Amino acid sequence: RSVIRRFDDPVSAVGGLIALKGSLAPGGAIFKRAAATPELFEVEGRAVVFTSLEDLSQRIDDPDLDVHPNDILVLQNAGPHGAAIPEAGYLPIPKKLARQGVKDMVRISDARMSGTAFGTIVLHVTPEAAIGGPLAAVRNGDRIRLSVAEKRIDLLVDAAEIEMRLADHAPPPAPKRGYAALYRRSVTQASDGCDFDFLLP
């Protein structure tokens, strides 16, 4: 019973995973509540944006990165169309903050992460940035609000401003042939399972 608990004596009174919605993820996002820091369940913070996996790799440990412990790290273009949705959602704590003892902070992306990973991390943001979802509209300094109680993730930017930013969005160039072209043409969003559309009932 220390491993498989009785129904009336659960490890937690609430589920380990929740779905979030809001202006940043109108199609939904996933939050692993059981692996997150409760003190970060109701927060508003400043966005620090990485536009790709390459951008993240190049700048996350830059000692001059403008980032603070109460900021929110945002990774764009790591979803099904942007990067084939790799296990990249577990954004590392910037080295300059880790050296100060920071263990966790809110991180948001359209990527996924391993089931064994932990942290206050919002994953599978849908629609993804690469196809022009609101995640693509986030800029450094924007305010984002996470509310686990309300199951919401919101970009606190005027809707007209978001629409204007997205009007200039260009999707990544589509491969012309082969499996890569088939994948780009047919893969669905995370909310639909990242499946090929022709395999759906």
Active site residues: 114
**Max intra-chain CA distance, the chain:** 56
Number of helices (H), then strands (E), belonging to the chain: the values are: 5, 8
Sign of the alpha-carbon dihedral angle for 117, 123, 128, 130: negative
**Can the peptide bond before residue 127 be classed as cis, meaning omega within 30 degrees of 0?**
yes
Q: For residue 190, how many C-alpha atoms fall within 13 Å in the half-sphere facing its CB?
A: 31
**Contact call for residues 140 and 48 (beta carbons, < 8 A):** yes
Q: Round to whole Å and give the CA distance between 90 and 146.
A: 17
**Contact call for residues 30 and 123 (beta carbons, < 8 A):** yes
Using DSSP's 3-state secondary structure scheme, residue 161 falls into helix
Residue type, 146: L
